[in-house]
């Protein structure tokens, strides 16, 4: 199996792009406003978003970070080089200030720690990540919430970590990748984790890493960084599709699983999935309900489809309650909050639902935007 | 490379759905006779319905592959063999003319140039014979040995010039090292451009493909594998500059063109944030889809169709059914679409292809 190391490389590469001042930024500006990206954002006034004259809270469900305490835990292990890379600091606050984000949901998304075979080490890495996140959140109470990392290669441990993270550390859910060392998360062995998420009623944010579980060989060695551009939505599509067809959502009907990047291809191209069980004689579907039922209840997606028409379509397919604002912060994707605020077909109420309404309760965010 | 045997197996499973109310078309014909031919009208206007996505098998291929490792790949029976049952199906659904593309692509794995040539020749002459037998109902499309770009160019030219075909059908695959955007394929693309060929891209290289990730529930080799193959294929032609090198190409992607037309934003967003990965591509992604790339309408639901129309424009969309597989896409899918006006419906059902391929507007081929 290909290691997840490439994920970090990809993210690293993307960040490098973001740091090159000037390059690509004019195009970004044309498309919908330049964003700070990975570049240290100048400390400036906090941008405040209003819709219809009303100040609205903006929650960003999709961001990346690492915590420094992990380096010490993995020192001297084969995972030494995996720690770190995207530490939180004052520049993050400046960034969300400049982008009009009131509350950012922090997740650590490399999932390299799922390769750790030593249960104790796996637990210590996750503990360090979760405590690091909890510390940052408690130091910046009104601006951040965080989701737990879990050691999903040990499903029972993952369930404990989620429970501990939510109940003891005040974290608001969990973040997962699209596969555990090549295995589908719909495999019954992962049921303990899903059962815990189901019981706690918390969000599970899924972020892909280039579909290295599916596409191998040289297929991704091409222009366009297609390992990211196609691989990421592919991994998410595959992940969500298996949760549907393998019956995971039927077993755990309370789940709320949010797929990054508009949930991959699945919501935007849902119809083939929708008819597969009826048309394909070999489909063997285990799902009890029509696939669209899951799309409208269990599955959520961030808004990263990057065009006005794409977002209209996403909302039309999923329903407004399932779509939430996400930026991929601090990577410099062109997804400014104006994409929602100035959307050509959404109503003001729908915009507010996407920007924060859908997430307030699920993430237990009670503080309204201040200032 | 994994053999394409899994593809045939998947297709065979799919044919079960082609049965009508539990009976096969041949049973139905024997018992109730041929259905009345449906004539599609929009308002009072009889409109020509052209199915761009319509498969066949040629039984004569069995003769060519006999005694070779590909012996079991030939399909000699079933719904892929065109006869009165197929005409009955088209009549019932209101399809006036269908463009015939060969089922599967097993012959891409043939390493012997002579054998590959012979297989394709049998397929293409068999297709020409079907068109000759039902000249009002079918248009031919060439099959080609794409593993040999020069032979593929020859087969396309032969199909168009000698056999009267309108273009050719291609598959792409993605698991192997070769990509159709590699410069060695320039000879093929150049010929297609020169001939003004209409290329219909249908995935088939990824179904199952021996990858355990596509095993299991949901027929994922088809449900995900098919649109994935088309997505990678189109993305490469765009990012690698193939479509800029050959601006006259017209390529239609099966199944709504895969994921890409329904999820266009990510392609150019990447170029805007990381332009060093988009060094060959010269135009915005939409531009390729407004000019060179087309898609059939196999997205099954009106919202999906509305999105395709918004992203590609009506002029790039063509009707397609995937017959003989039982996907739910009769002309009513277009006729009942509330977001389309009459002119748009007519364009998708046949008008766009009439214009592109300079076909007669009469309701025969």
Distance CA A60, CA A356 (A): 8
Distance CA B98, CA B50 (A): 6
Q: With b meaning 16 or more CB within 10 Å and e meaning fewer, what string describes B276-309?
A: ebbebbeeebbebbbbbbbbbbbbbbbbbbbbbb
Chain A residues touching B15 at Cβ < 8 A: 281
Q: What is the pLDDT of residue B51?
A: 98
Low-confidence ranges of chain A (pLDDT < 70): 1-42, 216-218, 367-371
* CATH code (residue A14): 3.20.20.140
Q: Is B175 on the interface with A (CB under 8 A)?
A: yes
Chain A residues touching B241 at Cβ < 8 A: 223
For residue B315, the tally of other CB atoms under 10 A from its CB is 17
Closest residue on chain B to A16 (Cα): B274
Q: Is A306 on the interface with B (CB under 8 A)?
A: yes
**End-to-end Cα separation, chain B, in angstroms:** 39
Tokens of A134: 């909890």
CA-closest candidate to residue A124, choices A84, A79, A70, A200: A70
CB B231 to CB A334 under 8 A?
Answer: no
Asked whether residue B363 is domain-assigned, the answer is no
Contact (Cβ atoms closer than 8 angstroms) between residue A114 and residue A79 = no
CB A279 to CB B218 under 8 A?
Answer: no
Chain B residues touching A226 at Cβ < 8 A: 232, 235-236, 239
Q: Is B177 on the interface with A (CB under 8 A)?
A: yes
Residue A285: which of B15, B16, B217 has the nearest Cβ?
B217
CA-closest candidate to residue A239, choices A311, A203, A187, A198: A187
Closest residue on chain A to B285 (Cα): A224
Q: Is A195 on the interface with B (CB under 8 A)?
A: no
Distance CA A122, CA A114 (A): 8
Tokens of A288: 């009890």
Q: Is A97 on the interface with B (CB under 8 A)?
A: no
CA–CA–CA angle B93, B97, B103 (5° rounding): 90
Distance CA B235, CA A10 (A): 18
Distance CA A283, CA A286 (A): 9
H/E element holding B54?
Answer: strand B50-56
Q: Is A302 on the interface with B (CB under 8 A)?
A: no
Chain A residues touching B263 at Cβ < 8 A: 233, 262, 265, 268-269, 305, 310
CA-closest candidate to residue A131, choices A186, A170, A74: A170
Q: Is A184 on the interface with B (CB under 8 A)?
A: yes
Q: What is the pLDDT of residue B275?
A: 76
Tokens of A180: 């555990």
Torsional sign, CA B318, B321, B324, B330: negative
Which residues fall within 8 angstroms of residue B278, CB to CB, at 6 or more apart?
Answer: A223, A224, B239, B270, B271
Chain B residues touching A235 at Cβ < 8 A: none
What count of Cα atoms within 13 Å lies in the side-chain half-sphere of residue A287? Answer: 28
Q: Is A371 on the interface with B (CB under 8 A)?
A: no
CB B270 to CB A228 under 8 A?
Answer: yes
Distance CA B278, CA B299 (A): 29
**End-to-end Cα separation, chain A, in angstroms:** 50
What count of Cα atoms within 13 Å lies in the side-chain half-sphere of residue B362? Answer: 5
Torsional sign, CA A130, A131, A136, A138: positive
CB A281 to CB B13 under 8 A?
Answer: yes
Q: Is B48 on the interface with A (CB under 8 A)?
A: no
CB B14 to CB A281 under 8 A?
Answer: yes
CA-closest candidate to residue A305, choices A323, A330, A293, A332: A323
Grouping H, G, I as helix, E, B as strand and the rest as coil, residue A18 is helix
Domain with A89, as residue range(s), is 5-360
Q: What is the pLDDT of residue A266?
A: 97
Asked whether residue A261 is domain-assigned, the answer is yes
State how far the alpha carbon of A49 is from the alpha carbons of A288, A336, A337, in Å.
Answer: 42, 11, 8
If one counts the domains in chain A, the total is: 1
Distance CA A256, CA A302 (A): 13
Chain B residues touching A306 at Cβ < 8 A: 265-266, 269
Per-residue pLDDT tens over the stretch A249-260:
999 999 999 999
If one counts the domains in chain B, the total is: 1
CB B227 to CB A274 under 8 A?
Answer: no
Distance CA A274, CA A261 (A): 20
Q: Is B14 on the interface with A (CB under 8 A)?
A: yes
- Give the β-pairing of B45-46 and B41-42: antiparallel
Asked whether residue A260 is domain-assigned, the answer is yes
CB B218 to CB A244 under 8 A?
Answer: yes
What count of Cα atoms within 13 Å lies in the side-chain half-sphere of residue A44? Answer: 11
CA-closest candidate to residue B121, choices B84, B150, B152: B152
Per-residue pLDDT tens over the stretch B75-87:
999 999 999 999 9
Distance CA B280, CA B270 (A): 14
Asked whether residue B114 is domain-assigned, the answer is yes
Q: What is the pLDDT of residue A2?
A: 39
Tokens of A170: 């005040």
Q: Which residue's structure tokens are 């309108």? A: B166
**What are the beta bridge partners of residue A64?**
A107
CB A282 to CB B239 under 8 A?
Answer: no
Which residues fall within 8 angstroms of residue B161, CB to CB, at 6 or more apart?
Answer: B195
Distance CA B255, CA B206 (A): 15
**What are the beta bridge partners of residue A259?**
A206, A301
Distance CA B158, CA B197 (A): 12
Closest residue on chain B to A286 (Cα): B217
Chain B residues touching A284 at Cβ < 8 A: 216-219
* CATH code (residue B10): 3.20.20.140
Q: What is the pLDDT along chain B (365 residues), one digit of tens a residue?
A: 333 333 333 333 333 334 455 567 777 777 878 889 999 999 999 999 999 999 999 999 999 999 999 999 999 999 999 999 999 999 999 999 999 999 788 999 899 999 999 999 999 999 999 999 999 999 999 999 999 999 999 999 999 999 999 999 998 865 455 789 999 999 999 999 999 999 999 988 555 455 677 777 888 888 888 999 999 999 999 999 999 999 999 999 999 999 999 999 999 888 888 778 888 999 999 999 999 999 999 999 999 999 999 999 999 999 999 999 888 899 999 999 999 999 999 999 999 999 999 999 888 65
CA-based nearest distance B218→chain A, Å: 4
The phi, psi pair for A247, rounded to 5°, reads: 85, 10
Domain with B294, as residue range(s), is 5-356
For residue B275, the tally of other CB atoms under 10 A from its CB is 15
Asked whether residue B361 is domain-assigned, the answer is no
CA-based nearest distance B280→chain A, Å: 8
CA-based nearest distance B223→chain A, Å: 6
Contact (Cβ atoms closer than 8 angstroms) between residue A330 and residue A38 = yes
Which residues fall within 8 angstroms of residue B289, CB to CB, at 6 or more apart?
Answer: B257, B261, B264, B311, B312, B313, B316
Distance CA A214, CA A221 (A): 15
CB B220 to CB A238 under 8 A?
Answer: yes
Tokens of B364: 């025969």
CA–CA–CA angle B125, B128, B129 (5° rounding): 90
CB A274 to CB B300 under 8 A?
Answer: yes
Asked whether residue A316 is domain-assigned, the answer is yes
CB B281 to CB A223 under 8 A?
Answer: yes
Q: Is A173 on the interface with B (CB under 8 A)?
A: no
């Amino acid at each position: 199996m290909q290691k997840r190391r490439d994920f970090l490389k990809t993210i690293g590469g993307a960040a490098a792009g973001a740091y090159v001042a000037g390059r690509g930024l004019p195009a970004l500006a044309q498309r919908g406003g330049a964003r700070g990206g990975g570049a240290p954002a100048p400390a400036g006034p906090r941008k405040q978003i209003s819709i219809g004259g009303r100040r609205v809270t903006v929650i960003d469900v999709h961001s990346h970070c690492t915590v420094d305490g992990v380096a010490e835990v993995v020192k001297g292990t084969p995972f030494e080089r995996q720690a770190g890379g995207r530490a939180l600091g004052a520049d993050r606050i400046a960034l969300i200030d400049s982008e009009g984000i009131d509350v950012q949901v922090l997740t650590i998304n490399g999932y390299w720690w799922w390769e750790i075979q030593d249960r104790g080490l796996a637990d210590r890495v996750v503990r360090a990540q979760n405590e690091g996140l909890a510390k940052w959140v408690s130091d910046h109470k009104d601006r951040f919430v965080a989701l737990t990392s879990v050691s999903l290669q040990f499903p029972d441990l993952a369930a404990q970590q989620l429970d501990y993270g939510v109940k003891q550390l005040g974290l608001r859910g969990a973040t997962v990748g699209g596969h555990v060392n090549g295995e589908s998360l719909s495999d019954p062995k992962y049921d303990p984790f899903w059962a815990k998420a189901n019981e706690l009623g918390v969000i599970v944010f899924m972020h892909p890493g280039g579909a290295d579980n599916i596409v191998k060989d040289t297929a991704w060695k091409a222009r366009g960084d297609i390992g990211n551009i196609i691989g990421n939505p592919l991994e998410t599509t595959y992940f969500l599709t298996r949760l549907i067809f393998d019956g995971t959502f039927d077993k755990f009907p309370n789940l709320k699983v949010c797929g990054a990047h508009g949930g991959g291809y699945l919501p935007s191209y849902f119809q083939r999935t929708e008819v597969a069980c009826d048309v394909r004689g070999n489909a063997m579907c285990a799902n009890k309900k029509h696939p669209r039922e899951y799309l409208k209840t269990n599955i959520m997606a961030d808004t990263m489809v990057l065009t006005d028409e794409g977002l209209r379509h996403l909302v039309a397919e999923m329903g407004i309650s399932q779509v939430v604002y996400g930026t991929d912060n601090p990577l410099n994707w062109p997804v400014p909050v104006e994409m929602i605020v100035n959307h050509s077909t959404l109503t003001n109420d729908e915009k507010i639902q996407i920007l924060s309404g859908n997430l307030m309760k699920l993430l237990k965010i009670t503080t309204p935007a201040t200032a | 490379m994994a053999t394409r045997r899994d593809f045939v197996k998947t297709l065979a499973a799919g044919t079960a759905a082609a049965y009508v109310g539990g009976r096969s078309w041949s049973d139905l014909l024997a018992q109730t006779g041929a259905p009345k031919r449906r004539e599609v009208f929009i308002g009072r206007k009889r409109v020509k319905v052209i199915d761009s996505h319509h498969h066949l098998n040629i039984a004569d291929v069995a003769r060519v592959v006999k005694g070779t490792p590909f012996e079991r790949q030939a399909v000699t029976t079933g719904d892929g063999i065109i006869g009165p049952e197929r005409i009955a199906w088209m009549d019932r659904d209101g399809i006036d003319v269908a463009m015939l593309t060969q089922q599967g692509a097993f012959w891409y794995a043939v390493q012997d140039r002579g054998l590959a040539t012979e297989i394709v020749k049998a397929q293409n002459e068999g297709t020409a014979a079907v068109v000759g037998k039902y000249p009002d109902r079918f248009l031919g499309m060439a099959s080609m040995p794409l593993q040999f770009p020069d032979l593929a160019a020859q087969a396309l030219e032969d199909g168009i010039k000698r056999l009267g075909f309108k273009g050719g059908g291609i598959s792409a695959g993605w698991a192997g090292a070769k990509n159709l955007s590699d410069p060695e394929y320039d000879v093929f693309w150049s010929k297609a451009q020169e001939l003004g060929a209409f290329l219909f891209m249908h995935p088939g290289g990824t179904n199952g493909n021996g990858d355990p990730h596509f095993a299991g529930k949901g027929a994922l080799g088809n449900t995900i594998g098919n649109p994935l193959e088309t997505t990678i294929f189109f993305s490469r032609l765009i990012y690698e500059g193939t479509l800029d090198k050959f601006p006259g190409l017209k390529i239609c992607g099966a199944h709504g063109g895969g994921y890409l037309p329904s999820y266009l934003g990510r392609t150019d967003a990447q170029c805007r944030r990381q332009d060093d990965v988009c060094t060959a591509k010269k135009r915005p992604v939409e531009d390729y889809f407004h000019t060179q790339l087309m898609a059939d309408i196999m997205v099954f639901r009106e919202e999906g169709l509305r999105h395709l129309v918004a992203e590609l424009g009506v002029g790039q969309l063509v009707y397609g059914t995937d017959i003989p597989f039982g996907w739910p896409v009769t002309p009513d899918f277009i006729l009942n679409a509330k977001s389309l006006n009459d002119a748009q419906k007519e364009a998708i059902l046949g008008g766009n292809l009439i214009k592109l391929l300079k076909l007669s507007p009469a309701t025969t081929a």
